Amino acid sequence: MKLNNKNASLFIPDNADESLALSRTTTLAISAHQDDIELMAFQGVLDCFGKSDKWFTGVVTADGAGSPRNGLYANYTDEEMKSVRIREQQKAAFVGDYSAQFQLGYTSSQIKDKNNQTIVDEYVKILLATKPEIVFTHNLADKHDTHMGVVTKVIEAIRKLDKSDRPKKLYGGEVWRDLDWVMDDEKVVFDTSEHPNIANGVMSVFDSQICGGKRYDLAASGRRVANATYFASHGCDTATGLNYCIDMTPLIEDDSLDMIDFILGFIDRFRSDVVNRINKVH
């Protein structure tokens, strides 16, 4: 597949033929940055790991230039940092047994540009080549503007597809804002208890971030454990790790559904729950 940017890449961990690697994909994750996939879509990795009939493919949109750096990487230039981040993401793809890993090499400003249709069209091309059943991306309540640029463009891209070519499910996962606040009956709850070694492995390869003072490896594990512990106040835990997502499938089933109205519905229902609980006791 010809990608738009000169610095873009497609990595296939098991060296399979490109057409096979893409066509066998059943779950696709589209993120803003390197390591976002492993934070927000580990359930997709887990579902496909070691399976012959399920395959996970990742798409990282940004070039990695703006990453924080310290320690070993303190004096790295943006160009050097891009190379490091690309290699780290490839390592995660190898450890997680991904079918393929795209890195598209766009700048954050390009991703945040609401008029940038080039990224949308590249997503369309990848979606048509992979035809996944499930897509993971950022959720519409994330507080990182680059993440918001990705999720809105992902929805636009899927809406450009014929209904027959669209994924069956679209999930928005947790990165820069967790989803604990979403009503329990509206959360998509994924049990990530299995293969903790792989969960740790795909996060620990991002050494530039860990040395840079961002312990995403610990944060990812801690969030999943906290979700499992605090999900239900009564009864013993049945999982050691949970990931939360918002089911954004209605947005790709009904093209007239407004993204803002959709996410505000979750927020309004949370607000009503808070008000009702206070009124019960006061």
- pLDDT per position as a tens digit, 185-202: 999 999 999 999 999 999
Q: Has residue 41 been placed in a domain?
A: yes
- Mean pLDDT over 84-101 rounds to 96
Confidence at residue 67, expressed as pLDDT on a 0 to 100 scale: 75
- Which residues 6+ apart lie within 8 Å of 272 measured at CB? none
Give the CATH number, domain containing residue 83.
Answer: 3.40.50.10320
Q: Has residue 266 been placed in a domain?
A: no
How would you label 182-209 residue by residue, b for 16+ Cβ within 10 Å and e otherwise?
Answer: beeeebbbbebbebeebbebbbbbbbbb
- Mean pLDDT over 138-142 rounds to 98
CA distance 47 to 54: 7
Confidence at residue 209, expressed as pLDDT on a 0 to 100 scale: 84
pLDDT band at 234 (very low <50, low <70, confident <90, very high): low
- Mean pLDDT over 42-46 rounds to 96
> In total, how many domains does the chain have?
1
pTM of the model: 0.95
Q: Has residue 200 been placed in a domain?
A: yes
Q: Has residue 261 been placed in a domain?
A: no
- Closest by CA to 253, choosing from 155, 187, 183, is 155
Q: Has residue 271 been placed in a domain?
A: no
Range of the domain at 195: 9-174+181-255
Q: Has residue 2 been placed in a domain?
A: no
Confidence at residue 112, expressed as pLDDT on a 0 to 100 scale: 97
CA distance 226 to 192: 12
- Mean pLDDT over 6-29 rounds to 97
Q: Has residue 273 been placed in a domain?
A: no
CB 254 within 8 A of CB 159: no
- Which residues 6+ apart lie within 8 Å of 67 measured at CB? 33, 34, 81, 85, 208, 209, 212
Strands 56-62 and 169-173, bridge-based pairing: unpaired
CB 144 within 8 A of CB 43: no
pLDDT band at 73 (very low <50, low <70, confident <90, very high): confident
Q: Has residue 280 been placed in a domain?
A: no
Q: Is pLDDT at 74 greater than 90 in this prediction?
A: no
